[in-house]
Each structure stands twice: as structure tokens, then as C-alpha cells.
Chain A
């Protein structure tokens, strides 16, 4: 009944608007003409002299306001929102075109604000939010680990590394999990020959159990994934699955890659599958896996004796797929129990009661594995959140500007709007038109923002990942990012559209029609007049927060960079190479190290050369327990120390000062007695009474067997990161070690002058010694240290950029508001000057407003800043969050800039010619 005809008339309205308009017109005209006819007839009957025009005029008067009636008809018909929207959009576009300058600035500010937000959100999405690109990632459960790296936390009870036979035990039982997969805790570089006689290249290999792909729920686009039958301990099938990217890079996406054999670390492996494009394995980090290899082939990949036999080391991480009906708590209890049983069983009947107690307190903490494991998340999670806060403030400041501009425009349209209202437009209609205009601006800004964000994110990734070959994510926005962008654009448009919309909603009809209303200083409500000033004060406060933040981060970075690291941080060149992959055997290392040190040492400008297992500062350090001979160790003792294996000239190259005794020297080689050098912190901890030299120590690690005599104490340095507190460190001569730790992969070269100049010479020399030696990186110590402060660099650089941007926006806003206010008060100023006011007085009168705004902004901004800074205290170094110097500098900066911006329009006020002003309407 009505529904059908309602829809019918609705459609008619949309499709045939013009026709309907002309029909309505015709109908009303007909009515008037009929009325006029009747008037004429009546008049003729009375023998009057009415003309047709008079009759028509009477009829029209009688009818009333034709336009109003038409408008009501249109509304009665339910003229569609779609039509109105189209009309509003057209009007909005016309308005935008009429003031191109303003429109350009508005869209640019919005583009920068929304773009910055989108860029940061893209990174947050990639690093923190996204799930693994597999089926049902929410069912994945990580055993104890959320972040990468393989530091076994043997003391505090939470285990995250496991042995191969423990994995096999767990995997066989399906009580708590549908299935469990195990994978190596780190992914080494492997040498790859794509065919016989092809050159050696490096790739990143990941050892995984046969059910890795099935547990994760990842599929292949070519061939097949690894299967449980491939993984058979020592007799695993020599197969591998490669990543999509590696397939493109190494094989040019050749379709015949399945079944091809490649030589990995000297062993032939057959490629059986290629993974999907987005799949990067289980770890979201730089340099993602190129190939996945059955875990039984571990000796091939790691070039070490097998780990996968009974009694093997704790070296694997586990990830399970949860079983429906089993809760996390139940699963956790089961696994922890199984773990304790295993550990007791493994260590045999003769366990000390202390060890037993330790085992009983071990457990496995199950975490969600949906987003995989990520170091990037651990390091960049908080900085990204801070950056998000920063760009939100920038966007709010931009919104403030737009709100002020639109308020001014709306105020100047008062006449037009009042006329419209008088002609019968509903107030809601006009408000809707104002909102449409704001949304149009914000959507255009949003579109620009998405483009800017793509560019910005790419640049950020490029600068952060300097030494990285590949990142597992890019800058392209996905659905979630685009939805975010859209939501932000809409919210922004509504936010700065509210002000003007409300001022329209309250606009008086009669007052607006007066032609001089534009210049009546009392136009608008008290609040409406104050609103621009309030907004600017808010902007000042926010930009103060941003400036102080930027200052604190910048100073933190400088403090970190210029602090004393304990070793030479200007004249070192570091080289990362891998003789193990090149095929060197343990016995050949002696001669190899000598050759290298001699050759490099003879290069011009080289003052010292040394080799070591890790660089002077490194994230991945060797740690194990240390025992002093002849001393009773209690189970609760803290005996962990960091170790590093070095060659004789290490201290000469790194210039770590000697405190007493002697450092490790050339003479400390395989045949001579085993000696070690310790740092001050270790000496204080283990030998508090001071007589460290001459004492003997042993290690809780088979790689450093035997008794070692302490021969020297050296000064402390930083070993794993710039912010660390003094750590215990012990240096061992590398040639007195046996097994894998005899291999060094880092070389330190002390250079006279700029180390960068020697880089190519060093590369050439190494190529001379052995062309097949893979040189993974050559970098100065300065670049190396930058890696350790990359998060701080990113945060401080970006925060400075955004703080300056914010300040620029505030200046534009303040300048605009002040100029507008001066123009509005031109009349008033003219009168004052005509009555005798001096230029200075006028200047001060106008500036007074700005000073008030500035004062309020600072007054509000300072406590807000102090509160906000406290949130980032943990990221600061060398200064407190309430650092007065930074705060004062920021306040001074903001004040200076805003006063300059306010001064210019104020000066214009003094140039007003009273006669012109009085005549000005």
C-alpha cells in the first residue's frame, strides 16, 4: 500500500527531479491563473476595470509565498537525501574553487595530518597488529616466547627453549594440543650454490620440524610443503621449501623450480615447494627466511655435530595449535608437568636437592602465537605508540586551524545564510551543507594523506633498515589501514565542522539580514567570539607538548651517542665474515687468522687488527655460569657471565684500557696455558677482596673446558646495548677454545683517520686471501653503533619534524585568526584613532589578545607537558622527564614564534587610516 507507492514516488524523485520540478511549477502556475480568471470573472460581473496583470497579482498575493510552498512540497514528497547530497556537494565544490588559496592550504594541512597518522598506523599494523598470514592464527600457541632470540632463562623458571627429544615426546601426545611444531631458535646464513659451478651466495635458512607448515596452516603455491615423513631425525629427507621472494630472486620465478637440486653448505637438497607470497615464516623480523629445511638436517645447516639425538642441547622453540575443548590453563599445566618429568628423567638419579628444587619450579608459559614472534615488535612497539600520540596531536592542531577558518567563513556568510533561512530552507538543511563542505575538505585531505603516507612509510622503512637486505613488510596499505584512514578523515571533518555548524544553528534571522552585520564587533555569541582564541590557546599548548617531547628525545639520542662506551668508537672498522661457511676446518683456523691479521695489518693506515666471535657491542652474546676453583658455589649464587672469544690484538684494536696485570696476547695460543682477562665488574663480583689475578676459574659450558687462569683486569665497556648497566665480561683467547666457538666472524680494524676510507681496501685484501670467503658486512663503528640507537634516532628525528610542522600550523592559524579579528575591528580601530589613540596604543590593544592566548596556552600546556613527559620517562637517557632546560627552551621558542606571527597583523592595524575605516562597511 503506502510502502509501494512511497518507494515509487521516491524513485520518481531521484530519477526525474527536473521533470518533477517543472511539473510542480506548472501546477502552481495553473492554480494562480485559475484564481486570476475567477477574479476577472467576478470583477466583470461587477463591471470593474481589472486588468489581467492586476488579477494575477491579486491571485499571487492571496496565495502567499510560492517558494515556501514549493519547498514544503519538496519536503513533503520526501525529496531524497541523495539529491540534497548531490546539491550540497556541488555547492561545496564551487565554494572550494572560489577560494583556491584557502582550499589548498586546508587540504595540504589535512593531508599532512591524516597522512602522518596513516603512515604510523601502517607500521603499527604491520609490526604489532597483523596476524601471521596463515589459517586461523588465533589458534596458535607459543611456548614461552613472544620475542625472538635464544637466551635461555634457566634461573627464573620460565622455559622457552627445549631439546629435540622433549619436542618428540610432546608431539606424540595429542592430549593438550592438536599438534606441536618445533623450530630452531635462530636462523643462520647458509651458503647456497644454485647449480654446480655456480657462485656461492648466502641465504637465510630455518630448521623446522616436518609438521611446521601443517601446524601453522600455511600452504604452498607450487609443489608441496614439508611433511612429517620428511623429518626423520638423522635420516631426514634432503628436501627444502623456499620462500616466494627467494624463488623470484634466485630463480627468476621459473616454473620448473620444483625438483631442482641446490647445494646448501655442501649438501644437495631438492626443492619440493614454494610458499605463498605473503608468508614469511614464524618470525617477523628483518631478513626473513629464504628456505625451510627439515630439522633433522641440522648438522648440515649449522655445520656442527648433531643436536637432534638424545641428550641434545636446549635449542628449539615450540609452537602448538590449540585443541578445541582444552583451555590454555589446562594445556599449560600439562606441558609444565611433562617438562619437569623430562628434566628429572634426563638428569638421572644423582640430582642435587638444589637442582631438583630448580626443576620443580620450572614451567612453560603459553602465549598467543597469532602474530608470530618478533624482535621488531619488542623494539619498536613502544616507539610506534609514542609516534602515534605525536601525530594525533599534529592532526588536532590542523583541525583547530580548519575550525577557525571555517568559523570565519561562516560568519562572513551570515547574510547569505539568513536570506536562505528566510526563504524557507530548514535550518538543518543549511547545517548539513556546512558539514558537507567540511567533510569534502577532510575527504580530499584524507585521499592526499593516503598517498603521502605511502611515500612516508617507504622512506621510514628505507632509513631504518639500512643494513638489512629484506623486510617482511612494505608500505602498501591493506584494508585495515584504508579503513583507518577513512575513519580518521570522517572524524576530522566532523570535528572541525561542528563549530561552524553550531554557529549556523544559532544564527539569528533578522540580525543577519542587516548589511553591516559583518563588521559589527558584537556579531555572534560571546562564546562564539571567544572560540577562535580558545582553539589557538589549545594549539599552543599542544605544540608545547610536542616541542618538549622532541627536545627530550633529541637530547636522549645525543646522550646515548656521546657517552663513553669503553672502547674506541671513532676509528674502528668492523667486518663481518663467515669462514665456517667457506668450509674452513678447525685445524685450519690458526693459519687463516694469522694470514688475515698480517695481510690487513699491512694495509696503509691500519694500526691494529683483531678477530672476535662477536663485535665489541652486540645483541647476541655468549653467556654461561662461571665457577671459581676452590670455592663452594651455592645454588642460589648469581654466577652468569658474558664471554667473548678474541685474538691477541683485540685490546690494542678496541683500545679498552688495562687496569692491572696483562691483556690477552699473541702468545696465548693452543699450546700455552689457558688464560683469561676479566673486567672490573666481574672482578668486583667474584673477587671482592681484590686478588683476582692468578686465580683459576672454570665454566659451566663444554665449549670452554678446563681450567683458566686470570691474568689481567680491564676496564668496563658496553657489550650489548648503549643503555646497559655494567655487566660482567670475561675474554678468552679464541685459539684456546675448541669446537664451534673457535670460529670468529668479526674483525676489528683500528684505523688512523676515517675508517670508511679503508673499507674497500679491506674488502680487496680479503678477496685476495680467499675469494670464496663470504663478507657479510663492512661498516664503521659509527654506523654499527647507529644500529643500536636506531629506535631513538627514528623517534627523535620524526618528533622534531612533527614538532616543527605543528609550530608552523599554529603560526598559520594564529596569523589567520589575528588578521581576521583586525579586519573585523577595523571600524572600531578607526574610531579610536580618530578620537586620538596613538599607534602604540592600538598595537598593544590588538597584541593584548595574542599575549593572552599565548599565556593561557602556556599555562595549560606546561602541566600537560609535564604529565605527558612522565609517560615517556623510561625511554629517556641522561635526563629526567621534567628537565627544566628543555621546558624553558620550548616555552621560549613557542612564545617567540607566536609573538612574531601575531605582531604582523597587529602592525597592520596601526596602519589603518581612520577615514577609510569609518567609511568601511
Chain B
């Protein structure tokens, strides 16, 4: 397997929003889901996950409540708020646009300059 890619600055929050948009999860679950949907190709620092979650909650894009996990342990579940949904859309749009521009630059051949 190829070595995992390091996350670019600031993208963790976007990924968290996406993960949560697919359904409410606790912190550990979010970690697993991101790994799952990235097919394990991303390297995620566990220590930076929770600060990101608290930041997102402080800014109002995710909401939290305590519930019970699969194995009957108390866990804090996060879900996307309405504002968070909008935020995810805008961020995703920005990301795609940026990716387009960068890709275009990188694929420039000498003749096109």
C-alpha cells in the first residue's frame, strides 16, 4: 500500500463536516468513517481531531449531545447543523475550484506559455 498522505492545512474540518453529514457519529466514529471513505489513504493525527471538533461546535456548524454507543458506553455524538450543511457546500465548492485551477497550472505544457 502507498504511504498515507498527510492532510493539507485546514482540510480536517471540511472532512469532519462531510463525515458527520452522512449521519451522526461520536468522535471515534468520525475518525473511522474518514479513514473508511478515504480508503485509508489519509494520515490523520488523532490528537488534532478533538480540537477540530470543539472548534466546529464553537462556530455552530455541528451540534453535540450525549448518547449511548453500540457497546452501551456513554459517548458524545455530533451531527451537522443547518448552517453546517451550507458551510460544507461552500467549502466543497471552494476546494473543487481550487483543485481545478491548480491542476490546470500543473498541466501546462511549455507550448501553452
Contacts and interface: CB of A to CB of B under 8 A. Distances in A.
Nearest to B59: A2
A71 B66 CA distance: 21
Interface of B: 26-28, 31, 45-48, 50-52, 54-55, 57-61, 66, 69, 71, 73-76, 83
A28 B50 CA distance: 8
Contacts of B75: 27, 30
A6 B60 CA distance: 7
Contacts of A63: 46-47
Nearest to A72: B51
A65 B47 contact: yes
A73 B59 contact: no
A9 B57 CA distance: 8
Contacts of B71: 37
Given A1-B60, A35-B28, A77 B54 contact: yes
Contact of B60 (A2, A28, A73): A2
A33 to B, nearest CB: 7
Interface string A69-106: 10011011110000000000000000000000000000
Given A27-B76, A64-B45, A69 B50 contact: yes
Contacts of A68: 47
A318 B15 CA distance: 82
B79 to A, nearest CB: 14
A802 to B, nearest CB: 53
Nearest to B70: A34
A9 B56 CA distance: 11
B45 A23 contact: no
B58 A9 contact: yes
A153 interface: no
A23 B76 contact: yes
Contacts of A385: none
Contacts of A4: 60
B50 A64 contact: no
B58 A77 contact: yes
A26 B28 contact: no
A62 to B, nearest CB: 6
Given A2-B59, A76-B58, A64 B47 contact: yes
B102 to A, nearest CB: 29
Nearest to B76: A27
A4 B74 CA distance: 27
Interface residues of A, number: 30
A72 B26 CA distance: 19
Contacts of A65: 47
Contacts of B47: 63-66, 68-69
Given A27-B50, A30-B73, A34-B28, 12 more contacts: A1-B60, A2-B61, A23-B66, A27-B27, A27-B76, A30-B74, A33-B73, A64-B47, A66-B47, A73-B54, A76-B58, A77-B55
Contacts of B51: 69, 72-73, 75-76
Nearest to A13: B58
A31 interface: yes
A761 B27 CA distance: 100
B58 A30 contact: no
B58 A78 contact: yes
A369 to B, nearest CB: 59
Contacts of A37: 71
B74 A26 contact: yes
Report, nearest first, the 7 A-B pairs whose CB atoms are least far apart. Answer: A5-B60, A64-B47, A72-B51, A2-B60, A76-B54, A76-B55, A34-B28
Contact of A1 (B54, B76, B83): B83
Most central of B47, B57, B74 by chain A CB within 10 Å = B47
Contacts of A23: 66, 76
Contacts of B57: 5, 9, 77
B61 to A, nearest CB: 8
7 contacts: A1-B60, A2-B83, A9-B57, A34-B69, A64-B46, A77-B57, A78-B58
B50 A73 contact: yes
Given A30-B26, A31-B28, A6 B50 contact: no
A30 B60 contact: no
A185 B58 CA distance: 72
B104 to A, nearest CB: 34
A89 B6 CA distance: 42
Given A27-B27, A63-B46, A6 B59 contact: yes
Nearest to B56: A76
